[in-house]
Amino acid sequence: MPPDAPAPPAVTVERLVVERGGRTVLRDVSAAVPTGSVTGLLGPSGSGKTTLIRSIVGTQKVKSGTVTVLGEPAGSKRLRSRVAYVTQDASIYPDLSVKSNVAYFASLYGRDRRDAAAAIEAVGMHDHAERLAANLSGGQKTRTSLACALVCDPEVLVLDEPTVGLDPVIREELWAQFHGLASTGRTLLVSSHVMDEADRCDRLLLVREGRFIADDTPAGLRSATGTEDLESAFLHLIRAQDGSR
């Protein structure tokens, strides 16, 4: 590769078809997630966001198509500590402290207490490290989950609706953290069903009824649809899609 060639995409999805419960929920979708950026996966509830995320982390049975992560087939063993997944419901142990939760994940990945402490520090939870997870606020739980994901120093982080139900200040802080991670070369894919998060992403993947209806930057989406706010851009694309059926 020439020295200044752009890095290959961290995630490539090609002609992916997924069926769940006898229904097709991803319908021949293709996209690439660029390395070192924050890509938003946006779409209403039930549109297929979690299914796509599961396909990327390798926990979803796919009918056809391919998903490649860091040059390897999704879910392959070699990706184990290179890809981290924060599920929609914070997956931490309520009866353990923040510190013990993160230390547990560290031990799973052959990391030590120093790595655990660094991950807790990175998400700003060092002042709450001794607290029981059960007693944390929603935002603190999300941060703790993020620390559990960060402890293996992953290159790709996939977060499923991490900011849902959080207050605006905490959301702001989390997005700043996502960008901080991307600025160190990590790749983040962050899903959300609220369009007001769209402007915080470097790139947007808009999903509706199992299809991608846009794969663009926020600015590109505005100019392509001739709209100022991204909510209107989304509506514009939906109408265009419905009109062409």
Residues that bind Mg ion (CB under 5 A): 49-50
Contacts of ligand ADP in 23-62 (CB under 6 A): 25, 43, 45-51
Nearer to Mg ion, 76 or 88 (CB): 88
CB of 212 to ligand ADP, least distance (A): 12
Q: At a CB cut-off of 8 Å and minimum separation 6, what does 148 contact?
A: 86, 91, 92, 101, 102, 104, 105, 119
CB of 11 to ligand ADP, least distance (A): 16
Q: Produce one character per residue of 95-113: b if its CB has 16 or more CB atoms within 10 Å, e if not.
A: ebbbbbbbbebbeeeebee
Nearer to Mg ion, 51 or 225 (CB): 51
φ/ψ of 82, rounded to 5, equals -100, -15
* Contact status: 236 vs ligand ADP (CB under 6 A): no
Return d(Cα 3, Cα 14) in angstroms, integer. 27
Give the nearest residue (CB) to ligand ADP. 21
Nearer to ligand ADP, 25 or 230 (CB): 25
> Under DSSP, is residue 175 helix (H, G, I), strand (E, B) or coil?
helix
187 binding partner (options Mg ion, ligand ADP, none; Cβ < 5 to 8 Å by kind):
none
φ/ψ of 50, rounded to 5, equals -65, -35
Nearer to Mg ion, 155 or 160 (CB): 160
CB of 30 to Mg ion, least distance (A): 20
> Under DSSP, is residue 59 helix (H, G, I), strand (E, B) or coil?
coil
Q: At a CB cut-off of 8 Å and minimum separation 6, what does 72 contact?
A: 78, 79
Query: Is-contact 94 132, C-beta < 8 A?
Result: yes
CB of 51 to Mg ion, least distance (A): 8
20 binding partner (options ligand ADP, Mg ion, none; Cβ < 5 to 8 Å by kind):
ligand ADP
Query: Is-contact 173 146, C-beta < 8 A?
Result: no
Nearer to ligand ADP, 103 or 206 (CB): 206
43 binding partner (options ligand ADP, Mg ion, none; Cβ < 5 to 8 Å by kind):
ligand ADP
Which residues here bind ligand ADP, judged by CB under 6 A?
A: 20-21, 25, 43, 45-51
